[in-house]
Amino acid sequence: MVTIYDVAAKASVSAMTVSRVINNTGKISDKTRAKVKRVMEELGYVPNQTARSLVLQQTKLLFLLITDIMNPFYTTLARGAEDAAKRSGYRLLFGNSDESIEKESDYVTTILTTRVDGVLVAPAGDPSLPHLESLRKHKVPFVLLDREVPGIECDIVLGDSKDGARRLVEHLVAKGHRNIAFVNGSPSVSSARLRLQGYQDGMKLSDLAYNERYVFETSFGPLSDLTEMGQWLDQLDPAPTAIVAGNNVLAVEILRLFRERGISVPEDISIVCFDDLGPYSEVEPFLTVAAQQAYQFGYMGMQMLVERIQERETALPWKKIVLPADLVIRRSVKTLS
């Protein structure tokens, strides 16, 4: 490996001088600077970030932990985070917890040992609390994305889940639906709780009775088995004319069930959901959704994180950004007479 000393020797200067050229610090004569640069080129010298990290006590590495890398909401969010990170001169490590507290735990270990400068976390749920406490204890700055965790105070970027869910219900009601079911994520996830509240609010505001039998709670991630959801649907009497899905993944799972059963959307039943499908919003049934600004989640979250890192000394107050969910009306809802 070519080190700073190899360059120094060949350029007949000290290692310190080379370091100054690399980092553009201190005063260097143009002549030596040119010579050092030429030698670096000749030798194909590349600074060793590991050694640099050790002495500087910072890695210039950030970490993004998401819960579902197959979900366009999170990949779009990742794009935003990546762009913002690069703009601030940071590199981005990345992990995928699969909505699993255990996998999340492994990543927290990685984060701690790798000494990343900060973390962007979409927590798996309320049980993520000890993981966040661990980060806090080791003074790793972090920003939460998409989900709150009771018991922890921190910077956070949230979507307006309650409002979005309520508007989805109201849209269905406006289209003549009165029998509306709700397929939601786990109640251990804050956004799922808020979306349930929004659903309840929407029903109440429309003078419709809330019936908990019409709510099915599962995971926001891909479902390994659809039978339970199918059984829940079968026992609903009267059968719903519309379903609200707690997120895009669940909407697709419901569509999968309907396909198996030969049920058409929106002819036989209507469906709306939280989060857009990214590029796949182009295909049928061209879902009506409460679209969140996924890219902004990542971009703004990353900005907050970088600010938090750079102002580490000053005691900034915790910031909370709530992004609206925009109702995008497409063609997955049938108008009832």
- Residues 246, 249, 255, 258: what is their CA dihedral angle, to the nearest 10 degrees? -70
Could you say whether residue 279 binds a copy of itself (CB under 8 A)?
A: yes
Per DSSP, the residues of 285-321 read T--EEEE--HHHHHHHHHHHHHHHHHTSSS-PPP-EE
Could you say whether residue 59 binds a copy of itself (CB under 8 A)?
A: yes
Q: What angle, rounded to 10 degrees, do the helices at 129-137 and 101-114 form?
A: 10
Find which of DNA, a copy of itself, none residue 336 binds, CB within 5 to 8 Å per kind.
Answer: none
- Burial readout 98-137 (b: 16 or more C-beta within 10 A, e: otherwise): bbebebbbebbeebeeeebbbbbbbbbbbebeebbeebee
Could you say whether residue 327 binds DNA (CB under 7 A)?
A: no
Measured CA angle at 193 (ends 148, 245), to 5 deg? 115
Could you say whether residue 211 binds a copy of itself (CB under 8 A)?
A: no
- Residues 49, 51, 55, 59: what is their CA dihedral angle, to the nearest 10 degrees? 30
Could you say whether residue 221 binds a copy of itself (CB under 8 A)?
A: no
Q: Contact with a copy of itself (CB under 8 A): which of 7, 36, 78, 302? A: 78
Strand partners, 288: 272
Find which of DNA, a copy of itself, none residue 129 binds, CB within 5 to 8 Å per kind.
Answer: none
Q: Both ends of the chain: CA-CA distance in Å?
A: 76
Could you say whether residue 113 binds a copy of itself (CB under 8 A)?
A: yes
Could you say whether residue 209 binds DNA (CB under 7 A)?
A: no
Q: Which stretch binds a copy of itself (CB under 8 A): 104-112, 151-159, 186-194, 196-204?
A: 104-112
Could you say whether residue 91 binds a copy of itself (CB under 8 A)?
A: yes
- Interface with DNA in residues 39-68 (CB under 7 A): 47-48, 51-52, 54-57
- Point out which residues bind DNA (CB under 7 A): 1, 3-5, 12-17, 19-20, 22-23, 25-29, 31-33, 47-48, 51-52, 54-57
- Point out which residues bind a copy of itself (CB under 8 A): 1, 44, 46-51, 53-54, 57, 59, 61, 69-70, 72, 75-76, 78-79, 82, 86, 91-96, 106, 110, 112-115, 137-138, 222, 249, 252, 255-256, 259, 277-280, 282-286
